[in-house]
Amino acid sequence: MNKTEELAARGSKVIMNTYSRFPIAFDHGKGMYVWDMDGKKYLDFVAGIAVNSLGHANEKLCEKISEQCRKLMHVSNLYYTEPQIELAEELCSHSCFDKVFYCNSGAETIETALKICRKYATMKNKPGRDIICMEKSFHGRTYGAVTATGQDKYHKGLDPMIPGIKHVPFNNFEALKNAVDENTCGILLEPIQGEGGIIPAKKEYLQKVRALCDEKDIVLIFDEVQCGVGRTGELFAYQVYGVEPDGACFAKGLAGGIPIGAFMAKDKLAEAFKPGDHASTFGGNPFVTSAGTVVMDMLFNGGLLENVKKQGKLLSEKLNALKDKYDIVKDARGIGLMQGIELTIPSGPVVADCIKNGLLLVGAGTNVIRFVPALIVTSAEIEEAMNKLDKALDRASK
Ligand SMILES: Cc1ncc(COP(=O)(O)O)c(C=O)c1O
């Protein structure tokens, strides 16, 4: 056994078996690359599942967080700290939102969203309790978030799920309209479905959903946990569509790898929460929010948003070329650096083949391969990844 296999074996004895893990253990990373315990190098197109927005071991991020943890790591939300305010100011000034609630993960932002939808209805003296979510969606694993997730496989053995959550087909306005009644208080959707298979919303669909929510005073929430924070080439995915939600969920890439969640809302919705209605011990502590300020600085002043647009175009061209070349590639789709190819065969063996050959990829659903590299990715790294993928698709076609 080499060191990597040894560590993976040790891990399998003490880490709960909730993931189908690869027998790989990583030791360190730099930029777009990671190395396992035996020094094998991998080009990382997973980025911790769309988390390491600045790549691995980014100097500015490392400097900032080490400086901040020596200064002040945590004090609780009974008080204010400068980094959390600075990040919130950045997020609000670059978006349609007025207020931020900090937490620690994507699922927690969803819990926040579900609660605030019902609180809003209560504040407005409306009967609404029901929240409509989408089929094929993914919102996380806490009880509310997993109930909101529109995929049966995640509900197995967990019933009863929380009441008042309905699911309708995504990108189908008639189905949504027919599901809305006087009991509806919120609609939750991902502008680009991630785990469900990289499925972008249609612009016209989102426009109609917005108009319906305005007409009925229903809260519209976008789950941008995966597609937000620069991944589309805009700070937030709603900006690509020009359709503003009332509230939105952000997490993953926001602090470049430090656990963070941010639920953002326009004032009209934010005021539904009063002191004591919601809380998080760690949420938005100075350590994590200082990391967020570095990510924001890099997005706006370090050329990252432009890079996402440029490299996203290249990635899309390359994936479409592979679609033309191989019959097993049925579709290529996505926005910016959140793209996928749908195969006619299960994606697992192709992903495993790429990993064996030094390219980290991740599936989405059973037939889709997802491409969510760090936002710092270069054209040369995209070329390298696509060459490896090309060879894997060639082998899988035979
Ligand atoms: C769109 C979306 N929402 C929510 C979540 C849950 O985030 P977390 O795993 O940080 O709880 C995820 C995670 O993949 C996601 O992709």
Q: With beta carbons less than 8 A apart as the criterion, state whether 294 and 88 touch.
A: no
Dihedral sign of CA atoms 185, 191, 196, 200 in order:
positive
Mean pLDDT for the chain overall: 97
Which atom of ligand 1 lies closest to the CA of 195?
16
Nearest to 190 by CA among 143, 254, 236, 144: 236
* Closest C-alpha among 71, 147, 113 to residue 248: 113
Taking Cα atoms as reference points, which of 319, 390, 309, 311 lies closest to residue 353?
A: 390
Q: Is 194 in the pocket of ligand 1 (CB under 6 A)?
A: yes
- Say if residue 127 is in the same domain as residue 262: yes
> Is the residue at 66 inside a domain?
no
**Ligand 1, atom nearest to 227 Cα:** 1
Distance 259 CA to ligand 1 centre (A): 12
Tell me the whole-structure pTM to 2 decimals.
Answer: 0.98
Q: Which atom of ligand 1 is nearest to the CA of 49?
A: 14
**Residue 391 to residue 383: CA distance in whole angstroms:** 12
Q: How many helices (H) and strands (E) does the chain have?
A: 14, 17
Cβ of 190 closer than 6 Å to ligand 1, yes or no, is yes
Domain-terminating residue out of 273, 301, 329: 301
Same domain, 145 and 261: yes
**Tell me: the pLDDT tens digits for 202-223?**
999 999 999 999 999 999 999 9
Same domain, 387 and 327: yes
Point out the domain boundary residue: 301, 327, 351.
301
Verify that 290 and 310 share a domain, yes or no.
Answer: no
148 and 205 inside one domain: yes
- Calculate how far, in angstroms, residue 227's C-alpha sits from the geometric centre of ligand 1: 10
User: For residue 191, is the peptide bond before it cis, meaning its omega torsion is within 30 degrees of 0?
Assistant: no
CB atoms within 10 A of CB 348: 14
65: Cα within 13 Å, side-chain hemisphere: 18
CA distance 68 to 79: 17
Q: Is the CB of 148 under 6 A from ligand 1?
A: no
Q: Does residue 84 belong to any structural domain of this protein?
A: yes
Strands 219-223 and 247-250: parallel
List the CATH number of the domain containing 297.
3.40.640.10
Mark whether 85 and 223 lie in a shared domain: yes
* Ligand 1 nearest-atom number relative to CA 110: 4
Domain that holds residue 238: 72-301
For residue 238, what pLDDT is reported? 98
Residue in 104, 223, 252, 362 to alter for ligand 1 test, most ligand atoms within 8 A of Cβ = 252
Model confidence at 187, pLDDT cuts 50, 70, 90, reads very high
- Do 259 and 338 belong to one domain? no
Query: Each residue of 341-366: pLDDT tens digit?
Result: 999 999 999 999 999 999 999 999 89
What six digits make up the tokens of 15?
């880490």
Our count of domains for the chain comes to: 2
Q: Is 138 in the pocket of ligand 1 (CB under 6 A)?
A: yes
Residues 151 and 219 in one domain: yes
Nearest residue by C-alpha to atom 16 in ligand 1: 226
Residue 373: give its domain's CATH number: 3.90.1150.10
CB 145 within 8 Å of CB 201 = no
The tokens 């197995």 sit on which residue? 156
Q: Which atom of ligand 1 is nearest to the CA of 251?
A: 10
% of the chain beyond a pLDDT of 90: 98
> How many A from CA of 139 to the centre of ligand 1?
5
User: How confident is the model over 48-95, as pLDDT tens digits?
Assistant: 999 999 999 999 999 999 999 999 999 999 999 999 999 999 999 999
Burial annotation 246-279 (CB, 10 A radius, 16+ → b, else e): bbbbbbbbbbbbbbbbbbbbbeebbebbeeeebe
Q: In angstroms, rounded to a whole number, what is the distance separating the alpha carbons of residues 301 and 147?
A: 39
Distance 138 CA to ligand 1 centre (A): 7
Residue 206 has what pLDDT?
98
Q: Which amino acid is at 364?
A: A
Please report whether residue 65 resides in a domain. no
Same domain, 27 and 79: no
The bridge status of strand 338-343 relative to strand 184-189 is unpaired
Would you state the pLDDT for residue 390?
98
- pLDDT for the residue 269: 98
Rounded CA-CA distance 89/98 in Å is: 9
Q: Kindly give the distance from the C-alpha atom of residue 19 to the centroid of ligand 1, in angstroms, as a whole number.
A: 15
pLDDT at 307: 98
Query: Is residue 121 in a domain?
Result: yes
